[in-house]
């Protein structure tokens, strides 16, 4: 079909320009609302015909690229707690291995597709509903002009855990087991669903760990880098499911989209848009439920499309992924890191130049207006 390309690893035809556009849109939404885009992009890939076993790891590789881009920006600003991040990552390694083991179990019994669909259906419905409730409460409080100070870092049984240590950057003294347990959960979810886990990390960092708000985005992205890299390498080694032909448009679209979304967020009131975004999440959840339980799949034979006449690059990619899966996964990680870092540095270099150009343009416009209002005699 027109504009459709064959993915040599996933062995399906897909519209790659559409993948780039969808990834760009999801990236804009992520940057605008400060949420991860993995829980939207993975279902979109599945709807486009990419099998869930390939959609999950390739989106995890994509998240790695966007996390590199975002965390580099926070590194420049110094808003990142490395010690706390590494403690979460240590738990994330164990969680990722547990998630991959669970993924393998359901894959071996032929139930992984329905498990992934169910996880996404419940996740999107839950997040969308909570966003709607939060938006409604914000609007009510705005109308009544009420501001409620919420008590952060509620004391609970986690604060009583042993092995207490200091986190100087966050100015905290608490059990190291708290961030480790958080990493365990995040790693498991990332391995099963191909998402960064920020929707779990951010609330936990605020209300359980008690980190300062300014350090949370950067630290969350820092953790996501390592967990996404581990998920990518494990999926590549165990299943050979990373397809660079799919990964590249995903990463390019999402990184550019996130940068645009963050810029738009400076000019738009996202509160009014949150309800629409929440309804989008709920709509996708309903679509996944319909596709899983009610769609007629009797005409689907379940066989992969095999392309005999692969071009030289595609054939090399297939052989490379099959013969050296660990090296191939490492290459996918390095590609995501390189693209993410490149975009971040370009933003750092170009931002002051663009700001200066806009400032000079405004000054010229003001000067022209003054000349019109007050012409020289």
Could you report the average pLDDT of every consecutive run of 10 residues in the chain (377 residues)? Answer: 73 86 84 68 84 84 79 73 86 90 87 83 82 76 59 55 77 81 88 76 77 80 85 82 87 83 67 72 82 60 49 78 82 83 76 76 71 61
- Pairing, β 12-15 against β 164-167: unpaired
Which two structure tokens, joined as six digits, stand for 137?
A: 């409460």
Contact 235, 56 (CB under 8 A): yes
pLDDT at 98: 92
pTM: 0.75
Dihedral Cα 196, 71, 248, 116, nearest 10 deg: 0
Contact 340, 69 (CB under 8 A): yes
Domain boundaries, the chain: 14-292+309-357
């Amino acid at each position: 079909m027109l504009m459709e390309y064959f993915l040599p690893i996933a062995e399906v035809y897909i519209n790659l320009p559409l993948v780039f556009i969808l990834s760009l849109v999801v990236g804009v939404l992520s940057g605008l609302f400060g949420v991860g885009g993995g829980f939207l992009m993975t279902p979109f890939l599945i709807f486009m015909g990419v099998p869930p076993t390939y959609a999950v790891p390739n989106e995890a590789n994509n998240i790695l690229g966007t996390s590199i881009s975002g965390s580099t920006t926070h590194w420049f600003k110094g808003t990142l707690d490395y010690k706390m991040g590494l403690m979460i990552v240590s738990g994330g390694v164990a969680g990722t291995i547990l998630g991959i083991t669970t993924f393998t179990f359901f894959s071996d019994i032929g139930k992984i597709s329905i498990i992934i669909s169910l996880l996404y259906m419940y996740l999107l419905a839950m997040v969308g509903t909570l966003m709607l409730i939060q938006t409604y409460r914000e609007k009510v409080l705005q109308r009544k002009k009420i501001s409620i100070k919420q008590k952060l870092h509620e004391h609970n049984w986690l604060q009583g855990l042993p092995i207490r240590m200091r986190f100087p950057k966050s100015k905290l003294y608490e059990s190291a087991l708290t961030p480790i347990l958080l990493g365990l959960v995040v790693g498991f979810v990332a391995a099963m669903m191909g998402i960064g886990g920020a929707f779990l990390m951010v609330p936990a960092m605020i209300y359980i760990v008690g980190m300062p708000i300014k350090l949370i985005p950067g630290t969350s992205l820092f953790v996501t880098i390592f967990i996404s890299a581990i998920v990518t390498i494990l999926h590549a080694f165990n299943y050979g499911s990373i397809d660079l032909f799919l990964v590249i448009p995903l990463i390019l679209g999402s990184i550019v989209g996130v940068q645009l979304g963050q810029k738009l967020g400076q000019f738009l009131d996202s509160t009014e848009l949150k309800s629409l975004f929440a309804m989008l999440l709920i709509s996708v959840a309903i679509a996944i439920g319909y596709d899983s339980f009610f769609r007629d799949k009797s005409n689907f034979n379940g066989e992969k499309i095999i392309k005999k006449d692969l071009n030289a690059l595609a054939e090399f990619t297939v052989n490379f992924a099959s013969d050296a899966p660990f090296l191939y996964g490492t290459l996918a990680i390095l590609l995501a890191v390189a693209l993410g870092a490149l975009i971040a540095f370009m933003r750092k270099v170009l931002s002051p130049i663009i700001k200066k150009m806009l400032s000079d343009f405004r000054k010229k416009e003001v000067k022209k207006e003054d000349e019109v209002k007050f012409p020289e005699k």
